[in-house]
């Protein structure tokens, strides 16, 4: 077997004073799980060098190899879902996978107000499964405005969103 380069790993500085390790998978390339593992390895080395307490890994949707690689070695998982039948099904499949890794998890429901019936069903399911429900984020134009302006939502509307995300962050730190 010949070794192949399936993507590139990058290190970038951010305007928030922290570094970002990220990658780009080549078009049509396989083994994205290995690329995720490489990104995590680089992030761990950087975190050790910079004496950082946390590494946040943004995993892809689904339950395939990249997700498994994202979960490997994690201390906690934050699942984000939306109130649709397919998203609820994906959430349940992800939870089954997380349980195999025995990782504590919590959940945020994004756009929670767009389908109150399904949101209520997801909340009931979370309670039944013993999964901590951290927050409901309602659909809000601030998110689109922020993206258009190249900002994050807290920069777009600090008074509204900073307390929400500060509370979520504090809850996330308690999960592990």
Question: Which mean pLDDT values do the consecutive 10-residue runs of the chain (176 residues) have?
Answer: 78 92 81 86 94 90 87 95 96 96 97 98 98 97 97 97 97 88
Check: CB of residue 39 under 8 Å from CB of residue 12: no
Q: Which of 92, 97, 26 lies closest to 67, judged by CA? A: 97
Supply the pLDDT for residue 62. Answer: 82
CATH code that applies to domain 74-175: 3.40.50.300
Supply the pLDDT for residue 29.
Answer: 66
| Range(s) of the chain covered by CATH 3.40.50.300 | 74-175
Three-state DSSP state, 47 = helix
Task: Give the ranges where 12-157 is alpha helix by DSSP (H).
Answer: 32-49, 65-71, 85-101, 116-129, 141-149, 153-156
Phi, psi (degrees; rounded to nearest 5) at 65: -55, -45
Tokens representing 96 are 């089954």
pLDDT of residue 31: 64
Token look-up 């890794």 returns 101
Spatial neighbors of 127 by CB under 8 A, at least 6 apart, are 133
The pLDDT score that the predictor gives to residue 85 is 96
Q: Are 6 and 23 in contact (CB under 8 A)?
A: no
Q: What is the pLDDT of residue 44?
A: 95
Q: How far is CA 104 from CA 36, 85, 99, 107, 131, in A?
A: 21, 24, 8, 11, 8
| pLDDT at 66 (0 to 100) | 87
173: DSSP letter: H
The number of angstroms, rounded, from the C-alpha of 42 to the middle of its chain's C-alpha atoms is: 18
């Amino acid at each position: 077997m010949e070794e192949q380069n399936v993507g590139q790993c990058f290190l970038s500085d951010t305007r928030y004073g922290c570094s970002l390790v990220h990658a780009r998978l080549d078009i049509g390339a396989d083994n994205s799980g290995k690329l995720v593992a490489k990104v995590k390895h680089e992030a761990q080395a950087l975190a050790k060098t910079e004496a950082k307490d946390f590494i946040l890994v943004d995993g892809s949707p689904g339950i395939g190899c990249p997700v498994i690689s994202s979960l490997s070695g994690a201390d906690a998982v934050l699942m984000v879902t939306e109130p649709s039948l397919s998203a609820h099904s994906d959430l349940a499949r992800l939870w089954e996978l997380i349980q195999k890794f025995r990782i504590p998890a919590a959940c945020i429901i994004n756009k929670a107000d767009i389908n109150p019936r399904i949101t209520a069903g997801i909340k009931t399911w979370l309670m039944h499964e013993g999964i901590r429900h951290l927050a409901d984020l309602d659909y809000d134009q601030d998110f689109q405005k922020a993206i258009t302006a190249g900002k994050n939502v807290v920069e777009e509307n600090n008074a509204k969103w900073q307390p929400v995300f500060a509370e979520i962050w504090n809850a996330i730190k308690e999960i592990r």
